[in-house]
Amino acid sequence: MRSHPARILVSLAAAALLAMNPACATPRDQIGETFGKFITAQNAHDLKVVDEFLLASPDFLWIAPGQIVRGRDSALIRFGELFQGTWRVDPDWSTFQVIRLDVSTVEVFVRVKITNGASPQTTLMNQILVNTPRGWRALSIVVGGNPTG
């Protein structure tokens, strides 16, 4: 069978053009955008948008220093309490990492600075996200750990 270099070159060029199309965004881009909206909603204290980001599951889990929250409804109550204060989350985007666990599940790691009162705390945030028909949603959030290690 003879190779057809021109046909191969055209195919590669077409694939490259499709890859540059915003509609063909990579999962990392989609996840970064979703995570950014989640952070923006928290910083705006917008409980309705935060609710849209959390997976509607009794298995939802949020672990933070000194507390464990199970279920989306309990998490929304906790976010509501935090939003009464000066709650703010600022990710260090240079540390943002996405690890694909399977075709519909990823794990996100990022360093964050959390302000909730007088002194901001720099820590790590880890999330498990599941791709649903409505987009990426958080199944778990774990906050804590040494951000230098």
Q: Is the pLDDT of residue 142 over 80?
A: yes
Helices (H) and strands (E) in the chain, counts: 4, 6
Average pLDDT over residues 1-23: 45
Average pLDDT over residues 67-91: 95
Give 95-105 pLDDT, tens digit per residue: 999 999 999 99
Q: What are phi and psi of 132, to 5 degrees?
A: -115, 170
Q: Is the pLDDT of residue 61 over 60?
A: yes
> What is 25-143's CATH number?
3.10.450.50
Residue 126 · residue 115 · CB < 8 Å: no
